[in-house]
Structure 1
Amino acid sequence: MDDNNESTKVAKLFQEVMILFKHSMNKVFEEMNPGLTAPQGMVMGILSKEKTMKITELSTKLSLSNSTVSGIIDRLEKQGMVERKRSEEDRRVVNVSIAPSCKGIHHDFHKRLEENIGNVLNKGTQEELNKISVGLDALKKLLGSREE
């Protein structure tokens, strides 16, 4: 098999794995907070790390338009999960942060996601886990070298 066919095979396999992983994440989202979508969960994840961000910054991180992210924020705000606050320095700037009542959600989500992934990986043999680790490490290096 030539390199191009092998690359195509790897790309398809990676896409399939990402779809399965997304379904797994969606399942955890739904179990923890029925109605929370994956994009809403991604916003919550970013905000939990960054604490406070402008919608434009969130849009850049998510590679989504400002209007799309604003709509996600609107729905999260209605659910009481995020808060919008005007900047004291520049009243035109609106910052978004996780509502105080929801601070623990992200930690709980990551814990459940790790448990979910752990349950899947526990089905594999040590040899399979070693192969996965080597493969993911190689993929990480390849992806990292593209950003340089």
Structure 2
Amino acid sequence: MDTVNDSMEVARLFQEVMHLFKHNMKKLLGDAGISAPQGMVIGLLSKNKKMKITELSSKLCLSNSTVSGIIDRLEAQEMVVRERSKEDKRVVYVSISPNFEDMHKVFHKQMEKNVEKIISQGSPEELRKISEGLDALKKLLSVQQE
């Protein structure tokens, strides 16, 4: 019975931490005039440089039409650009616009500083425990994917 209670407590705490983290990031994104879904698209594009809408949809677990709407709004704000494939005109790639590239780098630095500020409030012992706990959770979750 203790294992069930411990598992539920870990799940509850993880959910609370994720909620607080999302709230913090949502505020930071909001201050920059970007919605959370737009921020997720920008984040994926910054890592992958150029992606098809179907790839973005798959990674975000959202429909193509939803992602297309997000891209429409980002394109209107000149944050992303669409580019048709030269080989297959049906295929459309999306990437961060050159105009937004510098602003994105500044924003990314702000996010890093924000996370650093939060984490720096912990003692070395707390940070070690957090790291060990997250590493253990990652290993348990990885086993589930195999």
Band of TM-score, shorter chain = over 0.9
Gapped regions of structure 2 (runs ≥ 5): none
Deviations 1:1-52 (A, max 9, x none): 6111111111011000001000111122123x22x01110110111111111
The total of aligned residue pairs comes to: 146
Q: After the TM superposition, list the runs of 4 or more consecutive aligned residues in structure 1 that deviate by more than 6 angstroms.
A: none
User: 1:117 and 1:104 mapped to 2: Cα distance?
Assistant: 20
SS state of the match for residue 96, structure 1? Answer: strand
Name the residue aligned to 2:9.
Answer: 9
Contact 1:28 1:109 (8 Å CA) reproduced? no
Gapped regions of structure 1 (runs ≥ 5): none
Match of 2:78 among 74, 77, 80: 80
Q: Report the identity percentage.
A: 62
User: 1:49 and 1:121 mapped to 2: Cα distance?
Assistant: 23
Deviations 1:55-113 (A, max 9, x none): 00100011111111011001001101111111111111111111111113443333222
Structure 1 length as normaliser, TM-score?
A: 0.92
Deviation of the 1:140 alpha carbon: 1.3
- Tell me which amino acid in the other structure corresponds to 1:4: V
List aligned pairs for 1:133-148, cutoff 5 A: 133-148=131-146
Contact 1:45 1:106 (8 Å CA) reproduced? no
Name the residue aligned to 1:132.
Answer: 130
Higher relative contact order (CA 8 A, sep 6+): 1
Match of 1:107 among 97, 105, 108: 105
Structure 2 length as normaliser, TM-score?
A: 0.93
